[in-house]
Amino acid sequence: MTNVHPDAAVAARINKWLEGNYDAGTKAAIRRMLDEKRFDELTDAFYRDLEFGTGGLRGIMGHGTNRVNRYTIGMATQGLSNYLKKVYPGEQIRVVIAHDNRNNGVELARVTAGVFSANGFRVFFFDALRPTPELSFAIRELNCHSGVMLTASHNPREYNGYKAYWRDGGQVIAPHDKNIIAEVSKVDSIDKVKFEAVDENISMIGSEMDRLYIARLLKTTVRPDVIREQNDLNIVFSPIHGAAVKLVPDTLRAAGFTNVNLVEEQCITDGNFPTVVYPNPEEEEAMTLALRMAETTGADLVMATDPDADRVGVAVKNGSGGYTLLNGNQTGSLLIHYLLEAWRDGGRMYGNEYVVKTIVTTGLIDKIAASMDVTCYNVLTGFKYIGALMTELEGKEHFIAGGEESYGYLIGDHVRDKDAVVACLAIAEMTACYKSQGKTLIDALTGIYLEYGLYREKLISLTKKGKAGAAEIRALMESFRKNPPAELGGEKIALVRDYISSTERNIATGIETKLDFPSSNVLQFITETGSVISARPSGTEPKIKFYISVKCDLPEPDLLPQKNDELENRIDTITRHLAT
């Protein structure tokens, strides 16, 4: 049954907004929804409060406790303010605020700045849209205690969000995330929010921070000679209407690349994303205009970033005269291999270097790092865990790079989040280096497969919207835990890792061992042939995600098409099994 009148708990939440100190426009919109009997929509808007997940606070914009609006953002900011005062009593607290091109982003950033300033904080406010990694950089550069980025990353146009950062420049993690949620929950009325901005507490920042940021990125290049040699590398770039519109082209040109061509239609900063269905470089459709331009101009490299410029999609020339889209695992493997070789060949390895990846990112990176005697750490899904490990190891070990399968990478330790701006620079340099050797990135990737084995990965996302969808996802994970499969796609399960209890169980022996990870709602099934199937509810979207990774040897390059087909068939078989 659908469109059922909200239950008593939801009705009480709705009435609180209708009777509270909310603006007239908000109240009128809620009454209109009631008059039009849009009960399912009202229930979804009010059945819960937005919570900090893997990416912070994120949701659909609109009216209600489960929506992103000036009130939910204001209450979150007041709760964060209260927590900062507890953690840093007596200090002059300093925060940075930035936003991307999302609709209402400027207004919500101003609300955030206003609440912080009304709490007596020193607020640094970017004068226009900026990439998420530059927010992280500014926190560190300005010695701030915290920062907030108003963004919904690559989500559809109806979303916006609020990423909270700590003084190391990384997203908040335990115990701060839970403690912030606890403080936010105490802000049970908007009357407890200090909405009135104190203008003298707010300082605008702009191009001076851009210059510092770009100067730091240029220090990450490992073979500047190849950039000089291949300075006319034909690059097509699209910011997909987002925050990288200036920073990526400016950085590439500052590094020495002279042939950077922009997809002008997508350089218009528009939160409606008029040229794409989803502003996500993981989606082939979002790369359409960039690929069309590449085919016209004969580009060597195509790159596109998401709205807040922390993810990058890549397409490269293939041997058939067209372009091949790389997935996140392939780009990550290429980058790690290229960087480690450059560090080794340049005599920069001293025995304490490391790279980081997430547990759902390809095992190929582990093999590459091991072959060069570099530690590869695995962390939970979410780049905030990579940032947290970097902070923990700062001054003890030397970070080279990190990456995750969802198109996020970081080269260098200037920030504590994924950085598509520096990734674009590294990818361009890498492409230039291989071009100087008469190779494409496809050639380089084939060489990696010949040396380390062929890996194929696939992500399957099932969308389950609203309150009913959330319950369905919980039930599915509970079913996997209570009745784990004995096999998937004909491959027998050898190990089951349950990250909620941080245990690994050997199916053959029944022996359980402890995993050194924080508790997280992730399950992994490792088969006897080495396939890895991970199940994980998204922290930022109404989805459950299945990550499938399979592998085999590649004895010679001519066998690549055949072996790829075999691995794709294995993935399809596992996918069908998961769907039943």
Tokens of 216: 């730091």
User: Per-residue pLDDT for 54 more than 70?
Assistant: no
Q: What is the pLDDT of residues 312-357, one digit of tens each?
A: 999 999 878 899 999 999 999 999 999 999 999 999 999 999 999 9
Which among 401, 425, 452 is the end of a domain? 452
Query: Looking at the structure, do residues 418 and 433 belong to the same domain, yes or no?
Result: yes
Same domain, 444 and 459: no
Q: What is the 3-state secondary structure (H, E, C) of 336-365?
A: HHHHHHHHHHCCCCCCCEEEEEECCCCCHH
State which of 400, 430, 452 marks the end of a domain: 452
For the segment 199-244, what is each residue's pLDDT rounded down to a tens digit? 999 999 999 999 999 999 999 999 999 999 999 999 999 999 999 9
Whether residues 414 and 284 fall in one domain: yes
Look at residue 366 and tell me whether its pLDDT is greater than 70: yes
Helices of type H across 156-297 = 176-186, 207-218, 224-229, 244-255, 288-297
8 Å CB contact between 230 and 89: no
Phi, psi of 142, deg, nearest 5: -95, 5
Is the pLDDT score of 270 beyond 50? yes
pLDDT interval class at 543 (50, 70, 90) = confident
Whether 54 and 34 map to the same domain: the answer is: no
Q: How would you label 11-34 residue by residue, b for 16+ Cβ within 10 Å and e otherwise?
A: eebbeebeeeebeeebeeebeebe
What contacts 567, CB < 8 A, 6 or more positions away?
454, 456, 550, 551, 552
Per the structure, the complete domain to which residue 200 belongs is given by 49-205
pLDDT at residue 553 in the model: 97
How distant, in Å, are the alpha carbons of 338, 399, 413, 468 from that of 396? Answer: 24, 10, 13, 47
- The residue-averaged pLDDT of 471-491 equals 92
Task: Please tell me the predicted confidence (pLDDT) of residue 520.
Answer: 93
Using CA atoms, how far apart are residues 504 and 506, in angstroms rounded to an integer?
7
Please give the order of strands across the beta sheet that includes 408-411: 375-379, 353-358, 398-404, 408-411
Question: Residue 70: is its pLDDT beyond 60?
Answer: yes
Average pLDDT over every residue of 245-271: 98
Which amino acid, residue 427? Answer: I
In the listed set 433, 452, 471, which residue is the last one of a domain according to the structure? 452
pLDDT for 1 beyond 50: no
Please report the pLDDT score of residue 82 as a whole number: 97
Task: Say what the pLDDT of residue 464 is.
Answer: 84
255 is written with which tokens?
Answer: 């590094």
The DSSP line for 515-529 is: -SS---S-EEEEETT
**Catalytic residue (one of 153, 534, 538, 549):** 153
In this prediction, residues 264-283 reach a mean pLDDT of 97
Quote the pTM value: 0.95
Please state the rounded mean pLDDT for residues 40-45: 94
Least confident of 46-60, 230-244, 474-488, 563-577: 46-60
Instruction: List, for residues 79-116, the tens digit of each pLDDT value.
Output: 999 999 999 999 999 999 999 999 999 999 999 999 99
Same domain, 445 and 458: no
Q: Which tens digit of pLDDT belongs to each residue from 456-474?
A: 999 998 888 877 888 889 9
Cβ atoms of 515 and 504 within 8 Å: the answer is: yes
Q: How confident is the model at residue 580 (pLDDT cuts 50, 70, 90)?
A: confident
CA-only gyration radius of the chain, Å: 24
Decide if 337 contacts 348 (C-beta within 8 A).
Answer: no
Same domain membership, residue 392 and residue 438:
yes
Cα(518)–Cα(80) distance, integer angstroms:
23
- Strands (E) in 28-139, as ranges, are 57-60, 94-99, 122-126
Q: Are strands 57-60 and 122-126 parallel, antiparallel or unpaired?
A: unpaired
Respond yes or no: is residue 136 known to be catalytic. no
| Mean pLDDT of the chain, nearest integer | 95
Same domain? 503 vs 397: no
Residues 368, 479 within the same domain: no
My answer on whether 132 and 249 are in the same domain is: no
Residues 537 and 552 in one domain: yes
Number of domains in the chain: 4
Same domain, 266 and 373: yes
Which residues, in sequence order, are CB contacts of 299 under 8 Å at separation 6+?
Answer: 234, 235, 236, 261, 293, 317
Burial class (CB in 10 A: 0-12, 13-18, 19+), 128: middle
Residues 446 and 461 in one domain: no
Positive/negative CA dihedral, 303, 61, 380, 363: negative
Average pLDDT over residues 496-517: 96
For 315, the token pair is 């397409």
CATH code: domain of residue 170: 3.40.120.10
Q: Does position 2 have pLDDT exceeding 70, yes or no?
A: no
